[in-house]
Structure 1
Amino acid sequence: MHGHEGGRVNRRRYVAALAVAVGTAIAGSGCALPTGGTDPDIGYPTEQWADIPAGRAVPPIPASGGASDEAAPGTGGWTPAATTSGPLPADLADRVTAARAAAAARGADVAVSLLDRTTGDRIVADGGVLVETASVAKVFIADAVLHESSAPSAPDLELVTRMLERSDDDAASALWFEYGGSAIVDAVVARYGLHATTAPWDDNWWNTTTTPDDLVDYYAGLLSGAGGLSGGAATEILAHLRAATPTAADGYDQWFGIPDALDFEVGDVAFKQGWMCCVAGRWVHLSTAVVGPDSRYVLVVVSHETVTYESATRATTVADLGAGSDDAGWNSILPDTSLDTAVDDASAAHARETLTEVVRIMFPEGRIG
């Protein structure tokens, strides 16, 4: 999943096949799941879509949707797509059900929360599930910096840039402690009227807890000004999120999920990702974004996926260690993102692809409305 541009070219054929698969699944009496196979690179069972006939055409990728040497500023190196926004698809709830079933087959529980800011329509599936924010907390930190001062110092603004565009942990920690630590979360909760977001138990920003619904409400409040941030400050945050780099400062692929799946929305996706391992033996991944012309949609997709390896030198799954395993046993299999970037971790790659596939099934044409 590293080397994102090559994946983007190959993905178009994959998205076309997915469009057929989703239409077939929704038209039937249940959610049809793909047949099993094995990925030779990581040894994982993985869905095989190549045999699905391309019976339903997907609109062509706009000419502005590919890489360009003259990309517009604030779009992460891609020119904005020429898109228009419409209402949410009528069968979207069924697509969400199909996507979550596909994720479950890969060992993941997925929650979804989506808001159409124009119509007020919402699609929610387990939107109240608690999740550690991981790096998504960096948006809260940036909010605090820009709310506290109308003219932050140049060094602080540089830290905000690094923190949001490259998900730089050192930049986040520096601003976290400078602007009050856990008090940042308490203030954001109060200003935005969030219901289930709480400050981290250990004062580490990545352990802030929230829900998909709260994150949607946060972004909606950022866009409307309900959280007390000026329009200029909100625009600055969104510009940084649109300029997010393909890989984070530590080398982790941060274009999984929403940005990787919504081809037609390129240039109109302001996203912040989160990832950490492990919580109860599971990977946590969050893909959060403001999407579409005029920032019409707010989408949050969260997954908790069981850590699984197929290797002779490691237990097949965390469950194989047994409930009575000592810490050494657990540590022998679980990646620890507080110590390791997990850039080449096979379970991390599998979890990222799960989230990307979920969004593709929900939006097989690469756009929301």
Structure 2
Amino acid sequence: MPYRPNPRPTTRSASTHGRRGRRAGLCAVLLTGSVTILLAAGTVGPGAAAVTETAERSGARTTQAPVTNEARVTTAVLDLDHPARNPQVRGKDIPYDTASIIKVDILAVLLLQAQDAGHGLTQQERTQAEAMIERSDNDAANALWRRIGLAPGLEAVNKRLGLSSTVGGAGGKWGLTRTTVTDQIRLLRAVFADGGTTSASEPALTTTSRNYIRTLMTRIAAGQSWGVSAASDSGWALKNGWLQRSTTGLWDINSVGQVTSGTHHYLVAVLSDGNVSMTGGIAAVERAARAAVSSARAAG
């Protein structure tokens, strides 16, 4: 199926309904369930530091240390209609935990590895990829993280895509991969820009591969479509990440993707950490995304 941006409501009443629905869905998932999913491909042994990502359908929280940190947020925006320009960065372009936004990178690596081998994804890999992106399924991510060769496999392909500041999480902890907003814009360009971006001597993602990733990013499950979509007025494709750190109880909240605002298409990356709550972090990320896109529009 060809890629089409996920449409936003065009009327005031529909838009209000969409916002209420998204907020209501988020409240429901925060109040339902208590399952915390380990970000490890295997079992966390006794005494190990358990780093967890709380699934959006779960309201579980880890034991919190006293909150002393202040939340940080960094954004980057690139106008795809002026691709020669550099991204506009707001905040410090420093590394953050990826949480589940790494799943876009995992899929890009998987597809490039398949291209190198001269074949497409297997049916099992497609099923896992779709679950990983659309529903943010961690079991599927665990399987594909192993399939691409863990952090070394990720980093080898990322070099071809120009990602110079992304370091894969140790062992099975893909959610503790560290990245910057500028690296996330480079990855988004490889997916959304015509021809992708890569070094001159290496092939980029094919059109078929790019369209596959784009399409999955428009099929995000209900309740997970928050984030950079707040800056769009007609269409979006995204992937979000949310991770509560067991050492502090604070939240990493991230969102990356493409949005349409006015007549232009923008690549947007918002990374944050130190958030006291998931809902507060989401609100901060959405404010930052709207401000960043507004600034990019004003710059013409």
Corresponding residue for residue 125 of structure 1? 90
Distance of 2:286 and 2:183 partners within structure 1? 22
Judging changes above 3 Å, is the alpha-carbon distance between structure 1 residues 132 and 245 closer, same or farther for their aligned structure 2 residues? same
1:273 matched to 2:240: yes
Judging changes above 3 Å, is the alpha-carbon distance between structure 1 residues 184 and 290 closer, same or farther for their aligned structure 2 residues? farther
Which structure has more relative contact order (CA 8 Å, sep 6+)? It is: 2
The residue type paired with residue 256 of structure 1 is: W
Instruction: Quote how far apart the aligned CAs of 1:184 are.
Output: 2.8
Identify which of 179, 194, 198 aligns with 1:210: 179
Per-residue CA distance 1:70-111 (angstroms, 9 max, x = gap): xxxxxxxxxxxxxxxxxxxxxxxxxxxxxxxxxxxx953210
Structure 1 segment 301-340 matched on structure 2, within 5 A: 301-307=270-276
Corresponding residue for residue 209 of structure 2? 233
1:139 matched to 2:104: yes
Distance of 1:7 and 1:167 partners within structure 2? 26
1:286 matched to 2:254: yes
Equivalent pairs, count: 225
Contact 2:112 2:157 in 1 (8 A): no
Contact 2:148 2:154 in 1 (8 A): no
Instruction: Quote how far apart the aligned CAs of 1:130 are.
Output: 0.6
1:359 matched to 2:289: yes
Per-residue CA distance 1:223-276 (angstroms, 9 max, x = gap): 3333421111011000000111123xxxxxx222212x135133xx11011111
Judging changes above 3 Å, is the alpha-carbon distance between structure 1 residues 166 and 348 closer, same or farther for their aligned structure 2 residues? same
Contact 1:220 1:298 in 2 (8 A): yes
Larger radius of gyration: 1
Identify which of 265, 269, 273 aligns with 1:300: 269
TM-score for the superposition, normalised by structure 2 = 0.66
Instruction: Quote how far apart the aligned CAs of 1:115 are.
Output: 0.9
Corresponding residue for residue 192 of structure 1? 161
Corresponding residue for residue 16 of structure 2? 9
The residue type paired with residue 124 of structure 1 is: V
Instruction: Quote how far apart the aligned CAs of 1:296 are.
Output: 3.3
Instruction: Quote how far apart the aligned CAs of 1:118 are.
Output: 2.5
Distance of 1:117 and 1:244 partners within structure 2? 22
**Which of the pair is proportionally richer in strand?**
2
Distance of 1:356 and 1:7 partners within structure 2? 19
Partner SS for 1:299: strand
Contact 1:256 1:355 in 2 (8 A): no
Partner SS for 2:252: strand
Distance of 2:239 and 2:122 partners within structure 1? 23
Contact 1:141 1:184 in 2 (8 A): no
Percent of paired sites with the same residue: 26
Judging changes above 3 Å, is the alpha-carbon distance between structure 1 residues 359 and 226 closer, same or farther for their aligned structure 2 residues? closer
Contact 1:128 1:211 in 2 (8 A): yes
Per-residue CA distance 1:126-169 (angstroms, 9 max, x = gap): 35211111111111111122122232111110111111111111
Distance of 1:107 and 1:148 partners within structure 2? 40
TM-score for the superposition, normalised by structure 1 = 0.54
Contact 2:105 2:187 in 1 (8 A): no
Distance of 2:264 and 2:125 partners within structure 1? 26
Corresponding residue for residue 142 of structure 2? 173
Contact 2:253 2:275 in 1 (8 A): no
Judging changes above 3 Å, is the alpha-carbon distance between structure 1 residues 218 and 263 closer, same or farther for their aligned structure 2 residues? closer
Corresponding residue for residue 24 of structure 2? none
Partner SS for 2:170: coil
Per-residue CA distance 1:39-66 (angstroms, 9 max, x = gap): xxx9xxxxxxxxxxxxxxxxxxxxxxxx
1:243 matched to 2:219: yes
Instruction: Quote how far apart the aligned CAs of 1:189 are.
Output: 2.1
Contact 2:102 2:177 in 1 (8 A): yes
Instruction: Quote how far apart the aligned CAs of 1:12 are.
Output: 7.3
Q: Which runs of 5+ in 2 are unaligned?
A: 1-8, 21-29, 31-68, 199-203
Instruction: Quote how far apart the aligned CAs of 1:279 are.
Output: 7.4
Distance of 1:113 and 1:243 partners within structure 2? 23
Distance of 2:287 and 2:278 partners within structure 1? 14
Contact 1:270 1:290 in 2 (8 A): yes
Corresponding residue for residue 35 of structure 2? none
Q: Which runs of 5+ in 1 are unaligned?
A: 14-41, 43-105, 248-253, 308-346
Per-residue CA distance 1:164-205 (angstroms, 9 max, x = gap): 111111111111112211123212321112121112134411
Judging changes above 3 Å, is the alpha-carbon distance between structure 1 residues 353 and 178 closer, same or farther for their aligned structure 2 residues? same
